Amino acid sequence: MYNKGLRKGAHMTDIIDRLIEELGEAMVLTGEDVSSRQAGFFSKSGVKAKALIRPRSTADVSRALKFCYENDQPVVAHGGLTGLVMSAVTSADDVVISLELMNQIEEINVVDRTAVVQSGVVLQTLQEEAERNDLMYPLDLGGRGSCTIGGNISTNAGGNRVIRYGMTRDMVLGIEAVLADGTIVSSMNQMIKNNAGYDLKQLFIGSEGSLGIVTRAVLRLREAPRERATLMVAVDEFQKLPSLLKHLDSELGGTLSAFELMWNNYYRLVTTEPAQNKAPMSQDYPFYVLVEAIGCDPERMENILSEAWEKEFVVDAVIAQSEAQRMELWAIRDDVGQLNRFKPNFTFDVSLRISHMIDYVNEVNQRLEERFPGMVNYIIGHMGDGNLHFLICPGEGDNSLRHDVEACVYEPLAQVSGSVSAEHGVGLEKKPWLDISRSAEEIDLMRRMKLALDPKGILNPGKIFDLAS
């Protein structure tokens, strides 16, 4: 019932030889051609795998998976490898299917406002192609230059504009996926409304390649905005932030797309040398918010901001007057790479109700300080959709501290019915904590779905949950 590895008597060289025979030498990499590849965007180690397959079509993926299924061979799909939860980690016993060569934008339909893309298309590439057609693909995140559409779909990526456009699943109209046994399920729906039976694409969105490998997708595009207002404000009390969010969302008439919250310590970190960002306002305020409204002109934003000032929701503000200034403000929010100056460091993405946010943060920080005196927790978040990111530096030590740090972050979520994963998935990293956010019945149903679509358990084995309870 479960993955058993290779058939008895089968050797690694034998399976590789037969894999090459089945798919051709051009498609299969082995040896140093595999190990010399970086295992992840944030990893310095090489890929561990028996072989790495680079298909060019859905049919190629189908052939590869059919072979692996018949030979009980574990398979892990690779996209841009920008994930943060060890969802694409491999072992020496695995075969990797990399979708890097399936990188074609097959169609941009300006009438229907859709894009047909292969899974290996880089997010930024699609964004730019949509812009050339006077359209917009709304998904946006820091890894836009490396992450792929297939990876976005497999993790149900969120990012900066969830408050207005939703997560990846809200932008996918149809998909083509290959099941564990090589069966191709093509549901390339091009319509916004299609209520004919089960919405099968949702099985694969957010499943981290554990139910099937998505090879192509139909994505919903939007009209390119004629105007965009971007500003940064300072707030002196956390309690004022929900009121500010409500004020902006109400007055902007549905155009609010980003409400990015930064605690003081993060703002200081990314606006102080050796960071290259310049502070657009004092570094002494407790909270900073990057606000963006797509479809709102700066003049209207100034009027709305004036009202927020009069209500004492904000204590300082700057409005971008050019595209260059807009990018400078976003660079402050996105400069999480500054954290790499500190070792060890641990990153988290959690989700909870805004009304519970400050008490939860205080509880986490109290636990961290008790366990790691002198620690620093740099905090940012997509507050508009209840998503916080912790960037934790415990001080002395190494990665062996990870579990203790996780306990400080995840255990208090149980008290507020929060989620251990807001937008990055579960992978291996959050697997031990899944029961904080999902009931036993929910996890059991996930197992049933996994066994129905992948009865041998060959797809991304061991990730999210164990097949045996």
Give all domains of the chain, ordered by start, each with its CATH number: 12-100 (3.30.43.10), 105-223 (3.30.465.10), 228-336 (3.30.70.2190), 342-424 (3.30.70.2740)
Q: In whole angstroms, what is the distance from residue 245 CA to residue 241 CA?
A: 6
Contact yes or no for 369/376 (Cβ under 8 A): no
Question: What's the pTM?
Answer: 0.91
Kind plus residue range of the DSSP H or E element containing 187: strand 184-187
Residue keyed to tokens 């970190």: 269
For residue 122, what is the DSSP state? B
- Please name the residues in contact with 384: beta carbons below 8 A apart, sequence gap of 6 or more: 162, 163, 245, 249, 256, 258, 259
Percent of the chain with pLDDT over 70: 97
CB 219 within 8 A of CB 172: yes
312: left (phi over 0), alpha (psi -120 to 50) or beta: left
pLDDT digits (tens, 9 = 90+) for 315-339: 999 999 999 999 999 999 999 999 9
Q: 325-337 burial, b for 16+ CB within 10 Å, e for fewer? A: ebebbbebbbbbe
| pLDDT tens per residue across span 215-249 | 999 999 999 999 999 999 999 999 999 999 999 99
Q: What is the pLDDT of residues 26-73, one digit of tens each?
A: 999 999 999 999 998 778 899 999 999 999 999 999 999 999 999 999
Over the stretch 259-304, which tens digit does the pLDDT of each residue have? 999 999 999 999 999 999 999 999 999 999 999 999 998 889 999 9
